[in-house]
């Protein structure tokens, strides 16, 4: 049996009231079910920022271009931005690129929670393939191929 690796880290101070209030606002804004989804987004940003810091120190042009290309394909940066701009990414940037958020912003659902429900019930297709994961980070090139099917299409 395969042992899966944890994809997030718990906060160092679990009862920090300012962090708890901020996470409640983010949960409501992005229609998330649990704080683990926020922590996953923070971990993704942490990894991008760590890679960018290491590449700034090492001065490897090929790896720099590859990282900037990957981040810009995900829609987190514009193509004209540089490696330094990766250091200013936040978890809200990642949460804004999730399938659930994109469906709501394209007005294919009535609310952010409705978008999540459509996805989990299997009404959403990307490039003709059904997607049931609201946490999928959608690349910019696939954003135009999102289709919502079902009885109550909006």
C-alpha angle with apex 14: 24 to 134, nearest 5 degrees? 45
Q: Kindly state the DSSP code that residue 5 receives in the 8-state scheme.
A: P
Structure-block tokens of residue 132: 């049931």
Smallest CA-to-CA distance from 103 within 14, 31, 18 is with 31
pLDDT of 97 > 90? The answer is yes
pLDDT of 154 > 80? The answer is no
The class of domain 98-148 in CATH terms is alpha beta
Q: Give the mean pLDDT of 63-79.
A: 94
For the chain, the first-to-last Cα distance in angstroms comes to 43
pLDDT of 105 > 90? The answer is yes
Residue 24 CA to residue 79 CA, distance in Å, equals 32
Residue 76 CA to residue 98 CA, distance in Å, equals 11
pLDDT score, position 129: 97
Q: What is the pLDDT of residues 3-62, one digit of tens each?
A: 999 999 999 999 999 999 999 999 999 999 999 999 999 999 999 999 999 999 998 999
On average, the pLDDT of the chain sits at 95
pLDDT score, position 152: 57
> Does the pTM of the predicted model rise above 0.85?
yes
pLDDT score, position 151: 55
Residue 55 CA to residue 118 CA, distance in Å, equals 40
pLDDT score, position 91: 97
pLDDT score, position 150: 76
Per-domain residue ranges of the chain: 17-95, 98-148
């Amino acid at each position: 049996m395969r042992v899966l690796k944890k994809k997030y880290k718990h906060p160092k101070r679990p009862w920090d009231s300012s962090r708890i209030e901020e996470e409640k606002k983010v949960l409501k804004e992005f229609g998330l079910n649990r704080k683990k989804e926020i922590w996953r987004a923070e971990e993704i940003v942490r990894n991008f920022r760590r890679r960018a810091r290491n590449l700034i120190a090492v001065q490897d042009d090929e790896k720099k271009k590859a990282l900037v290309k990957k981040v810009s394909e995900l829609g987190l940066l514009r193509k004209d931005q540089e490696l330094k701009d990766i250091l200013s990414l936040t978890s809200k940037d990642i949460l804004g690129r999730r399938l659930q958020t994109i469906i709501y912003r394209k007005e294919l659902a009535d609310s952010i929670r409705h978008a999540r429900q459509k996805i989990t019930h299997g009404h959403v297709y990307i490039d003709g393939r059904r997607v049931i994961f609201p946490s999928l980070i959608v690349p910019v090139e696939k954003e135009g191929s999102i289709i919502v099917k079902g009885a109550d299409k909006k």
